[in-house]
């Protein structure tokens, strides 16, 4: 009688282990399927919506992927499930690359914005872009262009960083290069003299402030 009870007890425990193991395998397969379905669903979302909600999408993805990979340890036959995971990973990585490229393209470069804002202040809104085209400067307006440039730099000289002065120097040299062309296209002697006066004022201001900004930057770097 005792032997029979012991046998029944062992059988019950064995069934319990089997049941628990089956449940773990079922849950593991379910986590893999959930992961696969999630990746497929993200693929079908409009790219604009994916970009807008990317952080939340990626956080959910990482969670579901970890659950799926953890679940593989509870599967006897895991090769097929691993293939499913690998395929979904490849899909997601392709999507992630596209989204990151789009996000980078949509995000303005702070350095580019700073430079363009500086150019707009020195020459007027949208007059000079990345193409450094000064064809719009002619004999009729070149004096006014120099005036705006020099007076703007003078008014803001205490605010400019070293990078700003480097950009100002580059713009100044480009404007001078355009002046050489304009001189051959009918620049009046009167305007030429006025421009010479502005250049005489600006050259030492550029040199002193640019050196000062560099020195200040080096001092801060040492601190």
What is the pLDDT confidence band of residue 111, given thresholds at 50, 70 and 90? low
22-46: average pLDDT? 85
The predicted pLDDT at position 113 comes to: 78
Burial 61-90 (b: 16+ CB within 10 A, else e): beebbebbbebbebbeebeebeebbeebbe
164-193: average pLDDT? 93
Q: How many CA atoms lie within 13 A of 200 on its CB side?
A: 6
Q: Give the pLDDT confidence of 122-163 residue by residue, as tens digits.
A: 999 889 988 889 999 999 999 999 999 999 999 999 989 988
The predicted pLDDT at position 132 comes to: 87
Tell me the pTM: 0.51
The predicted pLDDT at position 135 comes to: 92
Q: How many CB atoms lie within 10 A of CB 175?
A: 21
The predicted pLDDT at position 195 comes to: 95
What is the pLDDT confidence band of residue 17, given thresholds at 50, 70 and 90? very low
Burial class (CB in 10 A: 0-12, 13-18, 19+), 163: middle
What is the pLDDT confidence band of residue 28, given thresholds at 50, 70 and 90? confident
């Amino acid at each position: 009688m005792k032997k029979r009870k012991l046998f029944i007890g062992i059988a019950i425990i064995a069934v319990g282990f089997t049941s628990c193991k089956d449940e773990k395998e079922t849950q593991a397969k379910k986590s893999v399927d959930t992961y696969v379905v999630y990746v497929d669903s993200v693929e079908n979302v409009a790219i604009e919506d994916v970009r807008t909600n990317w952080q939340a999408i990626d956080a959910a993805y990482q969670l579901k992927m970890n659950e799926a990979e953890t679940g593989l340890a509870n599967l006897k036959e895991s090769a097929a499930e691993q293939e499913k995971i690998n395929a979904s990973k490849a899909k997601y990585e392709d999507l992630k690359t596209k989204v990151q490229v789009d996000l980078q393209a949509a995000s303005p470069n702070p350095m580019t914005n700073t430079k363009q804002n500086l150019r707009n202040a020195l020459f007027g809104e949208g007059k000079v872009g990345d193409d450094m085209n000064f064809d719009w400067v002619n004999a009729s307006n070149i004096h006014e262009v120099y005036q705006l440039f020099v007076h703007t730099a003078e008014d803001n000289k205490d605010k400019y960083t070293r990078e700003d002065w480097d950009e100002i120097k580059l713009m100044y040299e480009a404007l001078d290069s355009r002046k050489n062309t304009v001189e051959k296209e009918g620049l009046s002697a009167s305007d030429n003299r006025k421009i010479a006066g502005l250049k005489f004022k600006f050259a030492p201001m550029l040199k002193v402030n640019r050196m000062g900004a560099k020195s200040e930057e080096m001092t801060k770097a040492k601190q």
